[in-house]
Chains A and B, each alone.
Chain A
Amino acid sequence: MSINETSAAPGVVDRDQQQARRLRNRLRYDAIQFAIIALAIALVGVLAYCVKEGLAAKGIKFSFAFLANTAGFDISEGKTLSFGEEILPVFEAFTSDRTNGAAFVTGIFNTAKVAVLAIVFSTILGTLFGVGRLSTNWVVRNLCFWIVEFVRNTPLLIQLVFWYFAVVLQFPPLASAAKWYGGVIISQQGLHFPSLSWAGDGSPISIALATATWLAFAGAVFDPVGKMRRACMIALAVMIGVLLATDMLSVDYPVASRFQASGGTSLSPEMAALLLAIVVNSACYIAEIVRGAIDALPKGQWEAAGSLGLSRRDTISDIILPQVFRVVLPSFGNQYISLTKNTALGIAIGYPDLFNIYGTVANQTGHSLEGIVIVMASYLLLSWTISAVVSFADRRLNVVGAKR
């Protein structure tokens, strides 16, 4: 409703009278608006004053200077940005002689690390569960239903604690660790995987090879031209073969000694448990989204695909899922945001995420309020980044002419 709408009196309307009424309405609206803004500012002012007094009573001054002070504590895992002589900042392990600000960066890095991995894996697992709930196979259908139902009806925190104390910490100790084919080591000290490591020198040939590999990879993933995906994949495979043959790229297998494993990529027990808990939990919510979207598709799509002679599997992968992904992207975005927020639960098992590191810094310096501002801003930034990426993807997928 517009504010200028006034119910005109029947019959002849005096032009001046009408204008006066409009002016009166507008003035009243502005006055109320002004009063509300003044009230809000006064409220914030009172709050700020109370906080200032409260802090003064404790002998703390509100300032962000503590960020530049030496942290004096260690973080069990994670990297931070270091601005050294190089032009670009480099990633380095956090050490206790770094600043509090660097500790926050480590926290954001750790949170983002878990969030990105969890987003990828929970999307895959969730789609599988969602499709599984509509499977023609009775056992698969019911199994997926009960897993989803169980996970959605129990608290994530208890699931997380269960994964950590009852699963990950019950793995065999490293001395007798289970070793899988391919060099994966599973132990109480964490999971160790083989990883690829780059051994190329700075020579033009190696740089050219690396660039070509990245281009092939990007082409295979994003496929800008269309119909180039297969060629790019073949090119990527050839490039990797060449790199492996020339020893520029080598596979780094983890090696276990009695007390520690080295080499390869490793997941700490805390990170493994947090990742497991969040992936399984989010996957169940994503499964519900996927199932809902599949259910909402017109039955005609299944029937048309069936009458064309497509098998159920081809129907799902070529007809149903592509349409479903257009519909579910916004819901997925919400789920990704809540997944990212859920990483804060890592504090329950001692994973050094942003919230955990904030707690340590606040305890050591007493600057809990300033820290809260930073943590809030970081989470807002993460949420907005995710929703921006999702809505970008949404716009790309929902191109004109592909309307539902």
Chain B
Amino acid sequence: MIAYAFKWSRHNLFAKPFDALLSLIVIPGTLWLIYSALAWAFTTAQWDIIPQSMRVLMIGIFPADQVWRAWTAVGIIGALLGAALGCVFSFRVHHAFILAVPPLALAVSGQGMEVSGPAALVVAILGCGWALTSYVPLARKVLLPASFTGFISIFAVMAPPGVGLWGGLLLSILLTLVTAVLSLPIGILLAFGRRSRFSSVRVICTGYIEIMRSLPLILVVYWIWILMPVLATGWNLADVARGMIGFTIFYSAYVAEYVRSGLQAVPQGQTEAARSLGMSEFDINRSIVLPQALRVVVPPLVGNVLDIFNAAPLVFIIGLTDFLRAGQMILANPQYGDRTYEVYSFLLLTYFLAGSMITYAARKLEAHMAVGSR
């Protein structure tokens, strides 16, 4: 064992003088950093602020007596997410143990039954959706209409207390979902427009895509936000809706570029073969080219979802209370004193966990898509 460790470190840490020097500088530095971070996390840090302000962080200023609405929305999202997962990975027993971790963690961290209970329920729903699509092929067929109904119901259940009250992490998630879903069809249309036979369509679509891609998202969101009331005086659209429109307008251009790269990956022979069968241009694009193109670009589109999720805090510019703003609101409360590091660590770690899951999914999906493609 010791001999193995010695050989391993000889090979991986001290292979050459330069490596040894690097190791001697980097290892103590890293160890010291990890040690001081851990020492801070377990002694100095006062983590009680996180469980105490969990509701604000998760749903912002959504009224406390309406929390069941948020839980219902999370339940629907969980079911859809589980169902989507099931189409790619089969549900196995060990996944159940992984799924059980978040509600247990909530219970251990001192959250009462009113939080851990619904969390366990959401996780159970997610697991059910996952198992359903893994083992029942019919369930995959109804996934598209089911997710459509799901999105409508999320809005139906979340809207009554006022759309302006949406906030916290839930707002980020809803914003990401809406943007990802709406920007896909617009992006596909733009991508086809960019390859249109008609030069005017080509110029308009190319111009739109290129202009959007060279502007900062924050500018587009702000711009839509101030332009809306000017365009339609008297029609008072909620800030959240304006933000979603801004995000969709911006990300459609990116989706269009991904889809276009997918369209280019479809061999010319496919179109030619379809044309010689006498299919119309519309049918060729709809049933021959687009499915093959989308198949190629699913992994980058998942990566795009991560981008949208990571950009969600930018809605601070139009005064929405998203996850980051909720954290800053808590920090502004003098009752808690200076807990800057605790709150930011929580924000960063939550985002890191969610982001890593999305990247992991994208990577797995890429491998899954590659199987059987050639």
Cα separation A154 to B351 with both chains bound (whole Å): 5
Bound-state Cα–Cα, A292 to B50, Å: 39
Q: Which partner residue on chain B sits nearest A50 by CB separation?
A: B231
Would you call B100 an interface residue if the criterion is a C-beta within 8 Å of the partner chain's C-beta atoms? no
- Tell which of A32, A53, A347, A348 touches B233, judged by Cβ atoms closer than 8 Å: A53
Closest-CB distance, A297 to chain B (whole angstroms):
21
On whether the beta carbons of B211 and A380 are closer than 8 Å, the reply is yes
Interface contacts (Cβ under 8 Å), in number, total 149
Q: Which residues of B contact A372 (CB under 8 A)?
A: 219, 223, 226-227
Please tell me which one of the listed residues A143, A337, A359 contacts residue B214 in the complex, with CB atoms under 8 A apart. Answer: A337
Tell me, yes or no, whether B37 is within 8 Å of chain A by CB: no
A57 nearest in chain B by CB position: B233
- The smallest C-beta distance from B50 to any residue of chain A, in angstroms, reads 16
- Residues of chain B within 8 A (CB-CB) of A90 are none
Inter-subunit contact A161/B198 (CB<8 Å):
no
Q: Does A329 contact B (CB under 8 A)?
A: no
Q: Is the CB of B12 within 8 A of A137?
A: yes
Q: A155 and B198: CB pair below 8 A?
A: no
Contact A344 B15 (CB under 8 A): no
Contact with B along A336-359 (1 / 0, CB 8 A): 010001111101100000010001
Q: In the complex, how many angstroms separate the beta carbon of A379 from the nearest chain B beta carbon?
A: 5
Tell me, yes or no, whether B279 is within 8 Å of chain A by CB: no
Chain B residue numbers with a CB within 8 Å of A159 are 348
B339-350 to A contact mask, C-beta < 8 Å, 1/0: 011001001100
CA distance A48 to B200 in the complex (A): 20
Q: Which of B13, B198, B311, B356 contacts A153 (CB 8 A)?
A: B356
B interface: dominant SS: helix
- In the complex, what residues of B have CB within 8 A of residue A312's CB? 16
Q: Which residues of the partner chain A approach B16 to less than 8 Å between Cβ atoms? A: 136, 311-312
Nearest residue, chain B, Cβ from A159 = B348
Residue A375, interface by CB 8 Å:
yes
Are B219 and A54 neighbours in the complex by a CB distance under 8 Å?
Answer: no
**Pairwise interchain contact A158-B324, C-beta atoms closer than 8 A:** yes
CB distance from A235 to the nearest CB of B (A): 32
Residues of B within 8 A of A157 (CB): 313-314, 316, 324
With a cutoff of 8 Å between Cβ atoms, the chain A residues found around residue B352 in the complex are: 150, 153-154
Task: Find chain B residues with CB under 8 A from A36 CB.
Answer: 198, 200-201, 204
Please tell me if the beta carbons of B348 and A384 are within 8 angstroms of each other in the complex: no
**Distance, CA A58 to CA B347, complexed state (A):** 40
Contact string, A135-176, partner B, CB cutoff 8 A, digits 1/0?
A: 111111001000001101111111101100110001000000
CB nearest to A1 among chain B residues: B197
Contact between chains at A158 and B312 (CB < 8 Å):
no
CB < 8 Å neighbour of B344 from A55, A158, A355, A383: A158
Q: Which residues of A contact B13 (CB under 8 A)?
A: 137-139
Q: How many angstroms from the CA of A352 to the CA of B231 in the assembled complex?
A: 29
Q: Does B26 contact A (CB under 8 A)?
A: yes
Residue of A nearest to B324 (CB): A158
B273 within 8 A of A: no
> Which residues of A sit under 8 angstroms from B222, Cβ to Cβ?
355, 359
Known: A153-B355, A153-B359. A313 touches B18 (CB 8 A): yes
- Judge if B1 is at the interface, Cβ distance under 8 Å: no
* Inter-subunit contact B219/A162 (CB<8 Å): no
Please measure, in the bound complex, the distance between the C-alpha atom of A71 and the C-alpha atom of B23, giving whole angstroms: 56
Known A158-B347, A355-B216, A369-B227; contact A136-B200, beta-carbon cutoff 8 A: no
Q: Please, which residue of chain A has its CB at the minimum distance from the CB of B357? A: A153
Residues in A neighbouring B26, C-beta threshold 8 A: 137, 139-140, 143
**Which B residues form the contact surface with A (CB < 8 A)?**
12-13, 15-16, 18-19, 22-23, 26-27, 30, 197-201, 204, 211, 214-219, 222-223, 226-227, 229-233, 306, 310-314, 316-317, 324, 328, 340-341, 344, 347-348, 351-352, 355-356, 358-359
The 5 closest A-B pairs by CB, nearest first: A153-B355, A54-B230, A383-B214, A344-B216, A138-B12
Between A and B, 8 residue pairs with Cβ closer than 8 Å are A33-B200, A137-B23, A139-B23, A139-B27, A153-B356, A157-B316, A347-B317, A376-B219
Besides A140-B26, A348-B316, 11 new A-B residue pairs in contact (Cβ under 8 A), listed by A number:
A138-B12, A159-B348, A166-B344, A311-B16, A347-B218, A347-B317, A362-B226, A372-B223, A372-B226, A379-B219, A383-B214
